[in-house]
Structure 1
Amino acid sequence: MNAIDAVGVALPRLRISADEVADVWGRYSGAGIESKTVPTVDEDALTLAVAAAESALSRSSLDPDDVSTVCLATTTPPLDAEEIAPRLVRALGLPTSTSIRTFTQSTLAGAQALDSGFDAEGPALVVAADLPRGDPASADHPFGAGAAAFLLAESGSVERLGSTSHVDELAGISYRERGSDELTGLDITSYERRAIRESVTSAVEGLGADPDAADRLDVDITDVDGAAVFQPDARMPSRATGDLSIPRETLARGTVVDRIGDAGAAGVPLGLAAALDAAEDDDRTLAVFFGSGGGATAMLFEGRVDSGFDAELDGGISVTYPEYLRERGYIGTVDVAGGGAHVSLPAWQRSLDQRYRLAAGRCPECEALTFPPEGACRNCHRRIEFERVELPRTGTVRAATSIGHGGAPPEFAEQQRRDGAYDVAIVELEHKGESVTIPVQLTDANAGTVELDDEVRAVVRRLYEQEGVPRYGVKFAPVDDRR
C-alpha cells in the first residue's frame, strides 16, 4: 500500500497583512488571520501545482517516470470546461501514459485526491492547489493561495492508518455560482458552525470504528500529536473540533491559515504538510477535511516527512491594498488593440516540450546544442536529426532590460497593467560543457533588480491568453526569489 514518500509546498511570494485590509475597510473579515499570500497575474492553480509537485519530486529518490497516477484537487481551475491535469503532467515531464484524476466542486477535493492517490496502483502524485476569490468588500478578506503536493509510494515513511467520511447535504456554506469566479455563502453563522462541527465530529469518531484500521487505532483518536483541520479562518479548527477536546497546541501544529489565508481545497493539505514537517518519527497526525454540500473526511497518519513549509513561508514581500487589488485583477480593465505575436495552437502544441521542459537538440555530428531544436545546427550548419536534451533549469543572466508601461506587446498588456514593468533577459544555460543562450521573461522580482551574472531558475508560469485559452511556459526567477 502507498505511503507518503515526499511532500512539497508552493506559496506566492507576495503577502498582504490583515491590518492593511482593515485600514481600507475599517474591519477585517478573516478571524485570526494575520497575513495572507497574494497570487500574481502569472500564478494560478496550475502554476502553483507545478511548483509544489516539482518540490515534492526533488525531495524523493523516486524516478518521475515511475509515477503512474496524478490526482489534482482545485476549486479554481483556469478553465471550467477543460481538463488541466494533462498540462500538469506535461509541465513535469511525466510519461504520457500517466493516469489522471481531477477533483473540484468543494474543499473536500483535497481529501478525494488523497484517497484516490492512496488507492492507486503504483506511485502516485497528489496535488492540491487553490486561490479562491470573493467580493473585495467582504468575502475576499480571508482568501489566500497555495499548493501542497504528496508523492505516494510503497517506500514512503508516513503511513496512513485510516480514512473515514461523514456524508450529508450541507448546501450554502460556501459556493460559486455557475459562470462566476467568486465564492460566496448564505451567511447563516449558526447553521454553518453546527454543520461543520457535527460533520467533523462524526468523521473523526468514525476512524475508531474503521474495520480496516481497528487493529492500529489502539489509542483515543483525539490523542494525537498534530492536527490539520478545515481552516477557512484561524478560529475554525478549534470550533470544528469542539466536541472532540483536541488540545490547542495539537491544532496549532497543523494550522497555517493565520499566515497564508484561506487556501480553499489546499488549506488542509498545506496544514498537513506543516504538521508532518514538525512531527517525530512515531507521531500521529490527524487531517480533517470539510466541504460545503458534502460533509467531512478524517484521515490519520503516522510518521514524519520534510516539506520545507517554513522555508517557503519565510521572506515574503509585502504589498499595499491597491497593489493587491491590481494583482488579483479586481480593479481596472485593459482594451488591447493590435494582434501581437499570434502563435497558432498547432504550432504552440509542437513547442510544448521547449516551453515547459527546455528541450534542446544536440547535434550528433559536432555535439553543439541548438535551442529551439529546429532547422540546422547552429554550429556546423548541418541539417540533421537532433538528439533530445533537457537543458538545466538554472542559468546565468548575460543581458537584461526592463519593459516599461506602454512597452509591452499586446498579449502582455494585461500582465503589465496588473504587475507593472517587468524584465526580460538573455540567460545562458550550460549542459556538459556546451551552452546556449535563450531570451526569457523574468518573474518574482521587481523590474531593474536582476543584474548581470545573477543566477536564475526556471519556473512554469501563465504567459498570456489567446482566444480565451491560457498559455503556459517557462519564465525565470532569481534563485533568491524572495526579493
Structure 2
Amino acid sequence: MRGIAAAGAYVPRFRLSADELADAWGTSHASGVERKAVPSADEDALTMAVAAAERALDAAALDRVELTLAAAATTTPPLEEGELVPRLVRALDLPASAATATETGHTAAGAAALSRALDADGPALVVAADCPEGDPAEADHPFGAGAAAFVVADDAAAPVADAAWHTDETPGVRFRERGDGDVQGLDITTYQRDAVRGAVTEAVSALDVDPDGADAAAVHQPDGRFPYRATGDLPLSNEAVAAGTVVDRVGDAGAATVPLGLLAALDGAGDGDLTLAVPYGGGTAAAFAVEGSLSVAGIDDLDGGTEIDYATYLRERGYVVSGEVSGGGAHVSLPNWRRSLDQRYRLVAGKCPECGGVTFPPEGACQSCHARVEFEAFEAPRTGTIRALTVIGQGGAPPEFAELQQRDGAYAVAVVALEGEDGTATLPAQITDADPESVAVGDEVRATVRRIYEQEGVPRYGVKFEPTE
C-alpha cells in the first residue's frame, strides 16, 4: 500500500519560552504553548524545507533520480510571487524532469501536497515548511517554525489507508491581506471553534476506518488547547490527541504543525498502530489514516533548542531592525549567481586531470599546477574542518550582509577544508548557528543551506557551515 516510506523533521535551534513572552507583554496570547521555535535571521521556509528533506532522503532506500514529484507546502514562501520548488529541486539535486507543485495560502496546504504524492506514479517528496508571523503585541505570540518532509512510495513502512476531505466557506478564521506579511483573524472565538470542529468531524467521519481505534491523532493546533476542542465530537481519547500535539513545544508552525505532529506520533507508534492526521485551513479539513510506525530523522529537534530572551527574538525575526543597507556591496549578477548554484548548494568542486589537484570553484586554471584544463566535477563532502577563522564585528560587515548583522549580531567567517576521496576542497564560508566566539580552528563543521542575502529583490541561498556539536 502506498504511504510514507521515510521522513525527516527540522525545527530551528532558537526557543522562546512563554514565560519570557509574558514578562515582555504582561500576558501571553499563546494558550498551551510552553515554548516556540524561532528561525534564525538566515532561515526561512526554503532553508527549513531543504534541511528536513535532506534528512528524509538520506533515510529513504532509493536514489534521488527515482523521484517523480516534488511538492512543497507553506504559507510563508520567500517571495509572494515566485516559485519555491525549483530552488528546492536544485538545492537537493533532484531530477529536473520531476513534476513540481507548491501549495500555499492556508494551513492545510500540506494535505494537498501529500494528496498529490499519494496519487503520483513513482516515489515522491513532500515538504511542509513554515514560519508565520503577526503583530508582536498579540497575533505573533503563538507563532513558531519548523518543517516536515515525507518520501512517499509504494510498499511503505507507514501506509496511508484512507483519506477524506470536507470543505465549506469559513471567512475570517485566519487570513493574510495581499502584500501584508502578518497573519490575522477576526477573533470570533465561538464561530472559529465551531467551524473548525465541524469540518474536522466531517472529514474524520468520512474515513473508511473507525476513529475510536486511533492510537494517535495530529489535529489542527493553532494553540495547545484547540486540538482537544476540535475533536470534541469524535471518539478520540485525550491521550491520542496528545501524542500528535507539538504546538506546545514549537509553537504554531502554520502548514508544518500537523505534519510535524504526524511525524512525532509515527516515531512513537507501534507496528500495528493507527494514526490520524487532520489539518485544517481556509475552510478545508483533510483527514489521513496512517498505519504502522516510522523512525523519523531529526524528530529530537522538537525537544531541543537554545533558549533566547525576548529582545533577541525581536531582532532575529527582524521586527526591530530597519534592514536598510548603505552602499551597493559586492554585486553579483543573477546570471553569474545562477551559473554557480552547483557550487553554492552542493559544493561541486573540480579535480585536475593533469596533477590531481582540487579547485573550488572549478573555474579558470588549476589552483595546484596552474594548467588550463577541463576539470572532473565531483561533490565535496559536506563535513569538514575549520582551517582559519575570523569574526566580523558590529558594523564591519559588507553592505550586502548588513541586514543579517543587524538581526544576528557579529558572525564568524572561516576557511573550511573538505577532505574526501577525490582530494581536499578549500573554501571560505560563513559559520551559522553558533556564537562566533565559541568556534575555533580545528573544529568540525557541516554544510547547511541558508539564506545568504537579498539583491535586486531576490533572496539568494547557498551553503554555510554549522558546528557538528
Per the normalisation by structure 1, the TM-score is: 0.96
C-alpha distance in structure 2 between counterparts of 1:291 and 1:434, whole Å: 50
Indicate conservation of the 8 Å contact 2:56/2:297, yes or no.
no
In structure 2, the residue matched to 1:427 is 416
Q: 1:443/1:206 Cα in 2 relative to 1: closer, same or farther (>3 Å)?
A: same
Write out aligned runs for 1:95-134 (5 A). Answer: 95-134=95-134
Secondary structure of the 1:457 match is strand
Equivalent position of 1:186 in the other structure: 186
* Matched residue SS, 2:229: helix
Q: CA deviation at 1:433?
A: 5.8
Q: How far apart, in 2, do the equivalents of 1:451 and 1:415 lie?
A: 22
Select which of 205, 210, 216 maps to 1:226. Answer: 216
Superposition map of 1:430-445 within 5 A = 430-432=419-421, 434-445=423-434
When the two chains are superposed, the root-mean-square deviation of aligned CA atoms in Å is 1.0
Residue 255 (structure 1) aligned to one of 232, 241, 245: 245
Corresponding residue for residue 85 of structure 1: 85
The alpha carbon displacement at 1:310 in A equals: 4.2
Check conservation: 2:11, 2:302, Cα contact below 8 A.
Answer: yes
1:295 shift after superposition: 2.2
What pairs up with 1:38-49 in 2 under 5 angstroms?
38-49=38-49
What residue identity is the alignment partner of 1:35? R
- SS of the residue corresponding to residue 207 of structure 1 reads coil
Q: Is the 1:277–1:309 contact (alpha carbons within 8 Å) kept by the matching residues of 2?
A: no
Q: Which position in structure 1 is the counterpart of 2:153?
A: 153
Question: Which residue, 261, 273, 277 being the options, matches 2:267?
Answer: 277
For residue 437 of structure 1, report the CA deviation from its aligned partner: 1.4
Provide the C-alpha distance between the structure 1 equivalents of 2:311 and 2:34, rounded to a whole number of angstroms: 18
Distance 2:54 2:244 in 1: 22
Shift, 1:175, TM fit:
0.3
Match of 2:302 in 1: 313
Given that residues 12 and 145 in structure 2 are in contact (C-alpha distance below 8 angstroms), is that contact kept between their aligned partners in structure 1? yes
Equivalents in 2 of 1:169, 1:313: separation in Å? 33
Task: Provide, for residues 378-422 of structure 1, a one-character-per-residue CA deviation record: whole Å limited to 9, x for no partner.
Answer: 122221111110000000011111100010000000000000000
> Distance between the aligned counterparts of 2:236 and 2:221, measured in 1?
15
Tell me how far 1:308 sits from its aligned partner.
3.5
1:213 is matched with none
Residues 9 and 148 in structure 1, CA contact (< 8 A), matched pair in contact too? yes
In 1, distance between residues paired with 2:339 and 2:422?
A: 28
Contact 1:274 1:309 in 2 (8 A): no
Match of 1:341 in 2: 330
Cα distance in 2 for residues equivalent to 1:453 and 1:155: 45
2:407, 2:262 → 1: CA distance? 33
Structure 2 CA distance, aligned partners of 1:461 and 1:89? 15
Distance, in Å, in 2 between the alignment partners of 1:256 and 1:315 is: 13
| 1:290 CA drift (Å) | 0.5
- Once residues 82 and 334 of structure 1 are traced to their aligned partners in structure 2, the CA distance between those partners, rounded to angstroms, is 21
Distance 1:285 1:273 in 2: 10
Partner of 1:332: 321
- Structure 2 residues not aligned, in runs of 5+: none
Code of the residue aligned with 2:4 in structure 1: it is I
Q: 1-side partners of 2:323 and 2:125: how far apart?
A: 38
Match of 2:289 in 1: 300
Rounded to whole Å, the distance in 2 between the matches of 1:61 and 1:369 is: 31
Structure 1 partner of 2:173: 173
Partner Cα distance (1:437, 1:288) in 2:
47
TM-score by length of 2: 0.98
Letter of the 1:154 partner, please give it: D
1:356 aligned counterpart, secondary structure:
helix
Structure 1 residue runs of 5 or longer lacking an equivalent are 209-216
Q: How big is each residue's C-alpha offset from its partner over 1:101-145, in whole Å with a ceiling of 9 and x where there is no partner?
A: 110010110100110111111100000000000000000000000
Q: Which residue in 1 is equivalent to 2:23?
A: 23
**Cα distance in 2 for residues equivalent to 1:148 and 1:168:** 27
Q: Secondary structure at the match of 2:51?
A: helix
Q: Distance in 2 between matches of 1:28 and 1:55?
A: 34
Match of 2:236 in 1: 246
Aligned-pair CA distance for 1:155: 3.7
SS at match of 2:290: strand
Contact 1:168 1:295 in 2 (8 A): yes
Is it true that 1:456 corresponds to 2:445 in the alignment?
Answer: yes
Letter of the aligned partner of 2:130 in structure 1?
D
Q: Is the 8 A contact 2:43 2:450 kept in 1?
A: yes
Distance 2:435 2:287 in 1: 42
Secondary structure of the 2:295 match is: coil
Give the aligned partner of residue 477 of structure 1: 466
Aligned counterparts of 1:433 and 1:102: Cα–Cα separation in 2: 37
Give the SS at the match of 2:165.
strand
Cα distance in structure 2, aligned partners of 1:339 and 1:191: 51
Code of the aligned partner of 1:399: A
Whole-Å separation in 2 of the counterparts to 1:268 and 1:335: 36
CA distance in 1, matches of 2:310, 2:404: 18
**In structure 1, what is the Cα distance between the partners aligned to 2:127 and 2:372?**
42
> 1:129-144 counterparts in 2 under 5 A?
129-144=129-144
- Choose 141-150 or 112-121, whichever is displaced more: 112-121
Query: Offset of 1:309 from its aligned partner?
Result: 4.8
Determine the C-alpha separation between the residues in 2 that align with 1:262 and 1:31.
11
**Counterparts of 1:73 and 1:433 in 2: how far apart (Å)?**
37
**Cα distance in 2 for residues equivalent to 1:402 and 1:58:** 33
Alpha-carbon separation, structure 2, partners of 1:160 and 1:238: 23
